[in-house]
Amino acid sequence: MSATTQTTPAPSDTKGGVLSLILQLRTYIALIAVLAFFSFAAPNFLSVASFTIMLQHIAIIAILGIGMSFVILTGGIDLSVGSTAGLAGMVAGMLILNGIVLEPLGIVIYPSIPLVIAITLAVGALVGLINGALITRFGVAPFIATLGMLYVARGSALLSSNGTTFPNLVGTAAHGNTGFPFLGAGQLLGVPVPIWLMIVIAAVAMGVAGRTAFGRYVYAIGGSERAATLAGVRVNKVKTLVYIISGLCAALVGLIISSQLVSAHPATGETLELSAIAAVVLGGASLSGGRGTILGTLIGACVIGVLSDGMIMMGVSEFWQMVIKGSVIVAAVVLDQIQKRFITGARS
């Protein structure tokens, strides 16, 4: 059995089967449509170089979106991911440039790059843990808890440098902390590292969502939290974990962006939370939880990425880009509602 969950059940009738299939595959169709459109409309769109750049942009949204997917599947939301990415970049920048200053001993320790990455990821996980604790222990609504964290994390990022940029994060050989730019700009087998990261994270996330007890619990909680509690699911633990996952993904994105720019700016990641949510929603997830897939989010991220980059290549004004992106997101949700009505109509 594929006990599940991720896909809305295929209606068994043939009447209207084609239409319902089209509705189910709408995200893929949307992706193919935007790809086809820009292939004709945008010059140089169909080239390895532009696809590589585009995929790197997609990786940012996709990684955030995958973390966000777990949160949204439980029926929650994480508005803090953009700020957390910004904060993470600043933590990494500070560690590389200033090291860890141990005042009483009068020494400065410069952690190696793997250690910098580990510490930064830990900061992201901590942000998620705080979100999760606020939501599960103190009953704060996810929207409010993470909205608060959006401000706190952004403020902390600004405080860390007094609002300035940590520039030139190449490290020094003497401190043993060179190599940071590899994360964002390096290549493995000719493919940029951020794309590899996206692929690996997506594969792991799909396995976790579809094949582990934790993943099933995430769907169950989104379906009915009370039923999950009575079925013996450790609801608070699972809910806390999804915010930690989201925080980890956000921190990784912060690392990738600061590595690509070889500098950390405290405003990095502003409004990225909205792109991540949009990717999840475009991927067919329900904001009330319980429905959605990692693959859907991945495709959703591709639609947003292709749309943005394609419009830039076409020279569409930034203002129009916003109008079009917003319309696409709303249209996706309208289609989702139509599909839902279709499926409930096919049942009693």
Partner 1 sequence: MTLLRAETIVKRYGATEALKGVDFDVHAGAVNVLIGENGAGKSTLMKILAGVETPTSGRLLLDGKAVRIGSVKDAAAHGISIVHQELNLCPNLSVSENIFLGRQNAGLIDRRSERAETAALMKRLEQDIDPDTLVGDLRIGQQQIVEIARALSDKARVLILDEPTSALSPTEVEVLFRIIRDLKSVGTGIVYISHRLEELLRIGDHITILRDGSWQATAPVAEVSMPWIVRHMLGHDGQAAVATSRDTTAATVLSVRDLRLTRPDGGYSLDHVDLDIKAGEIVGIYGLLGAGRSELLESLVGACPARGTVRLDGKDLAGLNVSARVERGLCLVPEDRKAEGLFPNLSVGGNLGLSSLVKFSRLGLISETAAGRAIAAMIGLMGVKTASPDLSIGALSGGNQQKVVIGRCLMPGPRVLLIDEPGRGVDIGARHDIFARMRTLAEGGMSVVFTTSDMAEAQTGADRVLVMARGRITADLSPSEATEAALIAAANGVPESEMSPA
Residues in contact with partner 1 by CB under 8 A are 1-5, 9, 11-15, 207, 211-213, 216-217, 219-220, 222-224, 226-234, 290-291, 345-348
Comparison of 9 and 104: residue with beta carbon closer to partner 1: 9
- To partner 1, the closest distance from the beta carbon of 181 in angstroms equals 34
Q: How far is the CB of 344 from partner 1 (least distance, A)?
A: 8
Identity of the residue, 109 or 200, whose beta carbon is nearer to partner 1 in the bound complex: 200
**DSSP code per residue over 4-44:** --SSPPPP--STTHHHHHHHHTHHHHHHHHHHHHHHHHSTT
Pick between residue 128 and residue 222 the one whose CB is nearest to partner 1. 222
Q: Which is nearer to partner 1, 194 or 215 (CB)?
A: 215
Q: Alpha-carbon distance 33 to 39, whole Å?
A: 10
Closest distance to partner 1 from the beta carbon of 340 (Å): 12
Tokens of 319: 């203002």
Q: How far is CA 107 from CA 90, 94, 98, 102, 161, in A?
A: 21, 16, 11, 6, 21
- DSSP tag of 105: G
DSSP labels, 114-178: HHHHHHHHHHHHHHHHHHHHHHHTS---HHHHHHHHHHHHHHHHHHHHTT--B--TT--GGGT--
Q: Shortest distance, CB of residue 38 to partner 1, whole angstroms?
A: 35
Instruction: Name the nearest CA neighbour of 45 among 331, 290, 316, 265.
Output: 316
Token pair, residue 130, equals 């705080």
Least distance to partner 1 from the beta carbon of 339, Å? 14
Residue number, 70 or 110, with CB nearest to partner 1: 70
| Cα–Cα nearest to 96, from 160, 180, 186 | 180
Which of 13, 103 has the CB closer to partner 1? 13
- Taken in order 284, 322, 195, 53, is the CA torsion positive or negative? positive
The least distance separating partner 1 from the CB of residue 285, rounded to whole angstroms, comes to 11
Judged by beta carbon, residue 192 or residue 290, the one nearer partner 1 is: 290
Minimum Å gap between C-beta 91 and partner 1 is: 30
Whats the size of the chain, residue-wise?
Answer: 348
